[in-house]
Amino acid sequence: MCICSNPVRIIHSHPVSSYMNAFHKQFFFSLSRCSSLFTCGRAKANRTSMFGQQADRVMALGEWEEYWQRNEIGFHQPQVHKILKNNIDKVLNGRKGVRFFFPLCGKAVDMKWLADMGHSVVGVEISEKAIRQFFEENNMTYTEEPVPAIPGAKVYKNSEKNISLYQCDLYAFSSSIDGQFGAIWDRGSLVAINPADREKYAALIISLMAKDCRYLLETLLYNPDLYEGPPFFVPDEQLHSLFGSSCDIELLQSVDAMTDLQRQWGLDKFTQNAHLITPKSS
C-alpha cells in the first residue's frame, strides 16, 4: 500500500481516550490509498518532505482552550509519566531543590510529584481551566495575581509547594519573568506546538536553560504521511539542527509505544524517544 496526495476525504472518529478527541471529530484529512501495483508519483513527492502533511499544521491558542472547556483532553495522564520516573536520577544528577520548568504544562501530575520531592516548579499553560484543575485536583490552595510584564497574563501559585503556573502564551514567557531553570521536562510540548514554530521554541527553551540545566524531552516517531497530529512527529535529525549548536543531545531510551490508539490513528509504527539535552559548556 502506498499513500498519495490525490485526496479521499476520511472522517476520523476516535474514542474519548484519543489524544484530542474533538480535534479528530472536527477535521478531515486528505489521504488516499493506492495499491502497490500502481505507481504513485505524488506519493514520492510527498515523501521528499520529512514532515509530510504536518509541516503547515496550525493550532490556534483558542482551539486548545476550547478542548479544555469541552474536557477533551485525551493527552492528560493521571499517573506520573514513565519517562520522567525512569530518568529522574539522570535529570537530577545528584542535585536537590532543583527549579523545574514545564512548557505547556496542562495539569500534569508530574508537577506535584516533583514538588513533593522538594523541587520547585514553574509551568506555562494557556488554559486557565487546566491550571485551576491542577491545584484543585491535587487539593492545593492557590493565589492568583497578574503578571505586569505580560499583558493579560496571570500567575497562579502554591507557595508551600513552590509551584507557579503562568497562564499565558508560551512565547510571551522569558527568563526575565522568572529566571532560568536547572531542569526542564518537555512532554507533550515540542510535539504539540505548531511545527513551523520549532526554531522559535528551541531559542526560547535554550534561553531558559541555566548552565547546569538538564532538559528531558520526549519525542514521537511515526510516519507523518499517515496522521496529521498533534502530537506531531519530531525527527531526531531536527533535534540536532534545533539544539545541536549549543547543546549536547543524548538519546536515553527508545521504546515501541504502539497501542490501539495509534492503530486507530492509522499508524503502523509508533516510537517514543527520550532525550537528555544539556548546554555544551556544562
Pure H helices in 52-98: 61-69, 82-92
**Binding of residue 124 to ligand SAH (CB under 6 A):** yes
Question: Which of 24, 43, 53, 64 is the binder for ligand SAH (CB under 6 A)?
Answer: 64
**Binding of residue 153 to ligand SAH (CB under 6 A):** no
Cα 224 to Cα 17: distance, rounded to the nearest angstrom = 21
Mark the segment that binds ligand SAH (CB under 6 A) among 38-46, 83-91, 120-128, 260-268.
120-128
Strands 120-125 and 163-167: parallel
**Closer by beta carbon to ligand SAH, 22 or else 130:** 130
**Binding of residue 169 to ligand SAH (CB under 6 A):** yes
Cα 224 to Cα 139: distance, rounded to the nearest angstrom = 40
Cα 119 to Cα 161: distance, rounded to the nearest angstrom = 8
Q: Which residue has the cell 493579560?
A: 152
Cα 62 to Cα 94: distance, rounded to the nearest angstrom = 40
**Closer by beta carbon to ligand SAH, 31 or else 105:** 105
Smallest separation, CB 126 to ligand SAH (Å): 4
Nearest C-alpha neighbor of 103 from the set 229, 176, 205: 205
**Binding of residue 18 to ligand SAH (CB under 6 A):** no
**Binding of residue 75 to ligand SAH (CB under 6 A):** yes
Residues in contact with 28: Cβ distance below 8 Å, sequence separation at least 6, in sequence order: 9, 10, 11
Peptide bond into 235 cis (omega under 30): no
Footprint of ligand SAH on 171-210 (CB under 6 A): 187-189, 192
Mark the segment that binds ligand SAH (CB under 6 A) among 42-50, 125-133, 142-150, 174-182.
125-133
**Closer by beta carbon to ligand SAH, 185 or else 222:** 185
Mark the segment that binds ligand SAH (CB under 6 A) among 23-31, 99-107, 221-229, 253-261.
99-107
Binding site for ligand SAH (CB under 6 A): 61, 64, 68, 75-76, 104-106, 108, 124-127, 130, 169-170, 187-189, 192
